[in-house]
Amino acid sequence: MSTKGQHAQGWGFVAPALLWTFAFFIVPFIVMGAMSLATLDGRTLIWGLSFQNYAELAEKRFLWRAILVSLEITLTVTVVSVVLAYPLAWIIAFNVPKRWQRLALLLAILPFWTSYVVRSYAWLLVLARDGVVNQTLINLGLIAEPLTLANTRFATVTGFVHFFVMLLTLTIYANLVQLSPNYRRAAQDLGASAFQTFRHVILPLTLPGIVTGAFLTFVLCIGDYVTPQILGGNTELTVPQVIMVQLGRRADFPLAAALAIVLMGIVTVAYLASARWLRLDRL
Amino acid sequence: MDMTKLTTTLLATTVLTGAAGAAMAQEELNALVWCDHMDPELIAPFEAEHNVTVNLREYEGTGAALALLDQSRPGDWDVLVIDGIDVFRAVDAGILAPLDAAQLPIADFFPEVVMEDVNTVDGVTYAVTEKFGYNTISYNAANVDPADMQSLVTVWSEKYDGRISIYDYYLPVMGLAAISQGIATADIGSDNLDAIGDVMGTMRSRAASVAGVVAAQTALATGEVDIVVGGGEWLTAVLAEEQPDLTWTIPTEGAVRWSQSIGVVEGTEQPDLALEFVKYIVSPEGQARLATSSCFWGMPANAKAGDILTDDQKAVLRWDDQPDYLALTQLYPAPDDALDADMQDLWLDTLSQ
């Protein structure tokens, strides 16, 4: 086949993906961007180039507060998930016999098999005043009165971490099993302690897996509506919750679009900050 | 006519009749509704009687419904169920078609819920009330003093700090806050939003959560909270059988009355069938089924439904107390766009505290 023919064939293969991306990402994004510059006069949508919706972000306390809350929750979830997922992935990769690793991974991702909403409501029951956690603590004599766990940020973070630890475990595990055992042996031969080997050899080499999982956690967490809505009890509002309120009754699509653009901006910043280590091809 | 012609004619007639029958069997009615209409017990009798399939789509929030209708082609939708106070929005947007009120049993409705001012624009009826109820106080009688529930101020007093959930919809909750201050829901305006905001702040500071329908029911049923501000029969009726301590009351200051209306969508290609559906829903049989829908219970607009509901069902709905309740309650706040935006901002600001 000639070079020209190969070129055409190549375009033929990527064309469906390009068209898909154009139709379902680029076009909606342009529409959303245009919508964020529109305004709502009563119930009439007025297209234009107004930055009024973005100005409202500075003017209305609850809007920037929602951005702050979303960032705080997302960063907490990401850090906690990484801290919990890394040892789990390590144990599966290095301490579980090869023949059991597949089963261990299967067990690790078991929570993915249930509905996200059902899982959130299940956590609500677990964390309730008379739920398993409080009853256990009371029976152990550790507390006299039930703790307020449900409808708090703690509940939101717990629900998120339960989900994202599984995701991070997979990405970190995929990175760990690709490491040649020779790295560890070489470090130990050179006199490195177990901690030094981990700190200076293993951790840097597994950073791409960590950052890839952390980035996915960040993206999915900051845009999630269900978990904070069910488990957070609206005790504080995240950006997706504020977006839903804008749409629910008043159908204020321009302000909702502006908030969505802000979310995308935050995700873009997160991407740029982590791009150096991102290895999405390893998923 | 010879036998061949007769046979041919009979065959053709049979085929055509069969085809027409098949076409009728495939007739569909598309309705945009609240979840209480999703109950098969409600819809199946209509489908069987009219040999039609009713396609139901549930929505939450008038804004979402109006956006959906705005994006649809004329004729996509036939029937719309909408918050009573938002009928005028749908009429303004050209979404509802005039309704022949003479064909509907409005004379049998509880007079207080006919609400011509809500369902009629410029003398033309566009919708009729189909169900109503109250956003008031639901509580667990085993854990709170029922006497305290008779005053809104004591409901969100320090005594019940952390034992309250607030229903997650700003209009009824702000209505209750206004009523507690002696402000009629119809008088809510920019001049008294600060006073309402103060009450909301107090309410919010006492609350363990601000919850939607399912979350509020879960919170009350599991003992996470003992009181739901903005609750009512629609929240506790489905739980009453298993947990009789979960009940509701209307405080002496009053409460907010919600209502939902039903109408025919402008541009429907089957206005007669759509009207038949509306007639069925507001008939005593349809009303009894709608009132006791598996999604949520509520009072039927048509008082004749009382002839069909059982005594137990009427007891749960507090049928005999309705005259008092209707006298004591006020309709949802119905703000114009500017006030609505301010109220929503105040609500979000309160939640963010």
All domains in chain A, ordered by first residue:
59-282 (1.10.3720.10)
Could you report the per-residue pLDDT of B103-162, keeping only the tens digit for each?
999 999 999 999 999 999 999 999 999 999 999 999 999 999 999 999 998 999 999 999
| Same structural domain, B148 and B244 | yes
Instruction: Note whether B219 contacts A: Cβ–Cβ < 8 A.
Output: yes
Taking only Cα atoms into account, the Rg of chain A, rounded to an integer number of angstroms, comes to 23
Whether residue B298 sits in one domain with residue B187: no
Please check whether residue B340 lies inside any domain of the structure: yes
Read off φ and ψ for residue B56, nearest 5 degrees.
Answer: -110, 135
Q: How many domains does chain B have?
A: 2
Per-residue model confidence as pLDDT tens digits over A89-126: 999 999 999 889 989 888 888 877 888 888 998 998 89
- The verdict on B211 and B344 lying in the same domain is yes
Whether residue B286 sits in one domain with residue B197: no
**3-state SS assignment for residue B300:** strand
Mean of per-residue pLDDT scores for chain A? 90
| B chain contacts of residue A148, beta-carbon cutoff 8 Å | 162, 208
The token pair at B163 is 């034992």
At residue A90, the pLDDT reads 93
> Which of A60, A235, A251 minimises the CB distance to B209?
A235
Local structure of B259: helix, strand or coil = strand
Q: What is the pLDDT of residue A53?
A: 93
On whether residue B202 sits in a domain, the answer given is yes
Structure tokens at A53: 């919706």
Tell which wins on pLDDT, A66 or B64.
Answer: A66
Domain assignment present for B156:
yes
User: How many Å from the N-terminal Cα to the C-terminal Cα in chain A?
Assistant: 33
Asked whether the beta carbons of residue B349 and residue A235 sit closer than 8 angstroms, the reply is no
Beta bridge partners of B131: B260, B300
| Tally of CA atoms within 13 A in the half-sphere of A63 that contains its CB | 19
In a domain, B7, yes or no: no
CB B177 within 8 A of CB B165: no
Q: Which DSSP category does A227 fall into? A: H
Q: Indicate the residue of B93, B337, B349 with minimum beta-carbon distance to A61.
A: B349
pLDDT at A283: 52
pLDDT over 50 at A278, yes or no: yes
- Predicted TM-score (pTM) of the model is 0.83
The 10s digit of each residue's pLDDT in B223-262 is 889 999 999 988 888 887 789 999 999 999 999 999 999 9
Structure confidence at residue B6 as a pLDDT band (50, 70, 90): very low
B209/B343 same-domain check: yes
The C-alpha atoms of residue B116 and residue A79 are separated, in whole angstroms, by 58
Q: Name the H helices within chain B.
A: 3-25, 40-50, 62-71, 87-92, 116-119, 152-155, 170-180, 193-206, 213-221, 233-236, 271-281, 284-291, 311-317, 322-328, 337-351
Q: How many CB pairs under 8 A join A and B?
A: 97
Residues B339 and B224 in one domain: yes
Q: What's residue B280's pLDDT? A: 98
Query: What element of type H or E holds A27?
Result: helix A27-36
Using pLDDT thresholds of 50, 70 and 90, give the confidence band for residue A279.
low
Residues B157 and B240 in one domain: yes
Which residue from B89, B211, B345 is facing A60, i.e. has the nearest CB? B345
Q: Are residues B122 and B49 in the same domain?
A: yes
Q: Closest to B63 (Cβ–Cβ): which among A128, A234, A248?
A: A248
- Determine whether the interchain pair A242/B209 forms a contact, defined as Cβ–Cβ distance below 8 Å: no
| Residue B89 included in any domain | yes
Beta bridge partner(s), residue B248? B138
Show Cβ contacts of residue A2 under 8 Å, excluding neighbours closer than 6 positions.
none
Are residues B217 and B154 part of one domain?
A: yes
Residues in Cβ contact with A277 at an 8 Å cutoff, skipping those fewer than 6 apart: A207, A208, A210, A211, A212
What residues contact residue A216 under an 8 Å CB cut-off, 6+ apart?
A167, A171
B334/B265 same-domain check: no
For residue B85, which of B127, B36, B34, B123 has the smallest C-alpha distance?
A: B127
B337 touching A (Cβ < 8 Å): yes
Residue in chain B closest to A251 (alpha carbons) equals B63
For chain B, the C-alpha Rg in angstroms (whole number) is 23
Q: How far apart are CA B95 and CA B59, in angstroms?
A: 16
Classified as helix, coil or strand, A147 is: coil
Tell me which residue range forms the domain holding B263: 28-132+258-320
Q: Which of B66, B92, B224 sits opposite A150 (nearest CB)?
A: B224
Return the pLDDT at B17.
44
Integer angstrom CA distances of residue B109 from A136, B189, B244, B335? 54, 31, 30, 26
CB-hemisphere CA count at 13 Å for A27? 7
- Strand B28-33 with B79-83, pairing: parallel
Specify if B22 maps to a domain: no
Name the residue in chain A with its Cα closest to that of B352: A236
**Tens-digit pLDDT profile for residues A188-203:** 899 999 899 999 999 9
Question: Looking at the domain assignment, is residue B224 inside a domain?
Answer: yes
Check residue B302 and report its DSSP letter: B
B177 and B242 in one domain? yes
**What CATH number is associated with residue B249?**
3.40.190.10
Q: Determine the residue type at B68.
A: L
Within this chain, do residues B82 and B154 fall inside the same structural domain, yes or no? Answer: no
Residues A234-248 have pLDDT tens digits of: 889 999 999 999 988
Q: Of B34, B69, B79, nearest to B269 (Cα)?
A: B79
Chain B from 137 to 166: CB within 8 A of any A CB: 162, 165
Q: Phi and psi of A130, rounded to 5°?
A: -105, 25
Type of residue numbered B45: P
Asked if A233 lies within 8 A of B223 by C-beta distance, the reply is: no
| Inter-chain residue contact B222 with A250, CB threshold 8 Å | no
The alpha-carbon gap from B337 to the nearest alpha carbon of chain A, in Å, equals 5
Rounded Cα distance between A79 and A92, Å, is 20
